[in-house]
Amino acid sequence: MAGSSGAQPVPAPPPLPRVVLGVSGGIAAYKACELLRLFTESGHEVRVVPTAAALRFVGAPTWAALSGQPVADDVWAQAHEVPHVRLGRRAGLVVVAPATADLLARAAHGRADDLLTATLLTVRCPVLYAPAMHTEMWEHPATVANVATLRSRGATVIEPAVGRLTGTDTGRGRLPEPAEIFALARSLHRRGGAPPDLAGRRVVVTAGGTREPLDPVRYLGNRSSGKQGYAFARTALARGATVTVIAANVALSDPAGATVLRVGTTEELYAATMAAAAGADVVVMAAAPADFRPVRYQSAKIKKSDGGAPTIELTTTEDIAAALGAARTPGQVLVAFAAETHDALANGAAKLARKKADLIVVNEVGPDLAFGTDVNAATVLGADGSVTPIPTRGKEALADAVWDLVRARLPRSGD
């Protein structure tokens, strides 16, 4: 055609899912305002469905102003539109945050005594519950049974965080940070309603970079931010796994639903990982341990005035992945990592054999590569000789691609 440039039209991105944000009556209801903001500012249409108790903490005008949508808590408002059915059919994602013990009980027993619980019975999209309550309520056998029931039906019920509750109380029961609930919800939606294929699996993920002290103010370390490890944790949670993260000097919010253990040095990472790996189905060694530590730690700050630059004698640190490979139980899947600056595949293959891992994720690192970025690329080598290239993509998408490879190597239940 005359005047045509021959350029192909760029396809429009798929529409973002409509979100139903359920809010039940706990003090953490105010945090749902931040979660709502994250959804709306990223382009989602959000309908907030609070319970009557939630409205005693945050009023309907607040939810309406932040969402730009009408707010109701019972099935009688606009009854001619049958709102619970309409909301449920249109929703592409449902998030209940906070989910109180009362809400979890009513949802588990199929109650439909307000707009939120009635809507929960009509939805056929991914549903995420973010519980928040006192520790005693979370640990009560009734709540434990209700959570198990909801999970058995395919809902994702994350573990609450540990921290300050109401008053002076602390313990497990705190609502995870809204940004992490948001990230997990987006991961759930990206799975497109796929079944939680890691349900019942225990996963250990290491993340970040260790630091080996030289003196009270200096250390040997690396540039690892922990972003890739946390992406592995979030995607494993979205796939139904119970996740323990061992975080080495990570300055990120804890992944919603994960148990996070914090360490500093390679020795501490070694001890924590070996303990957590006992009984785990999968261990993902995404952390970047320092390979060397000073032979001698200087108890006082090393001064320039002490005679110029010091000579620092180094020794090697523990090879954690190799120790895991030697000690792991039958059926456990070990994923190692090789961050390389040259000869990446050759070096990765050698590490795969030396560490006796099932898979090794090989990627090139350097300025603007891997460390600290939001995207990554890798080649995954398997002990069975497989080679799986993963082109540049978001770190959660890369993690999901690796989880597909892990899932194929896990023994089936009953094996």
pLDDT by residue for the chain (415 residues), tens only, comes to: 444 444 555 444 456 789 999 999 999 999 999 999 999 999 999 999 999 999 999 999 999 999 999 998 766 666 545 556 778 888 999 999 999 999 999 999 999 999 999 999 999 999 999 999 999 999 999 999 999 999 999 899 999 998 888 878 888 999 999 999 999 999 988 887 788 899 999 999 999 999 999 999 999 998 899 999 999 999 999 999 999 999 999 999 999 999 999 999 999 999 999 999 998 999 999 999 999 999 999 999 888 776 677 889 999 999 999 999 999 889 999 999 998 888 889 999 999 999 999 999 998 875 665 566 888 999 999 999 999 999 999 999 999 999 999 999 999 765 5
Q: How many CB atoms lie under 10 A from the CB of residue 10?
A: 6
**254, 246 contact by CB (below 8 A):** no
Domain boundaries, the chain: 19-190, 202-409
Q: The CATH number of 202-409 is which of 3.40.190.10, 3.30.70.930, 3.40.50.10300, 3.40.50.2000?
A: 3.40.50.10300
Annotated catalytic residue, options 222, 249, 363, 376: 222
Q: Identify the DSSP state of 82.
A: -
Asked whether the beta carbons of 87 and 122 are under 8 A apart, the reply is yes
Residue 330 makes CB contacts below 8 A (sequence gap 6+) with none
Q: Is 376 a catalytic residue?
A: no
CA 126 → CA 52, 196, 302, 371, 386, distances in Å? 24, 10, 56, 32, 33
Q: Which residues contact 73 (CB under 8 A, 6 or more apart)?
A: 49, 50, 51, 52, 54, 55, 60, 114, 115, 116
The bridge status of strand 93-99 relative to strand 127-131 is: parallel
Residue 388 phi, psi dihedral angles, 5° rounding: -125, 105
CATH class of the structural domain 19-190: alpha beta
Please indicate whether the domains covering 19-190 and 202-409 agree at the CATH topology level.
yes
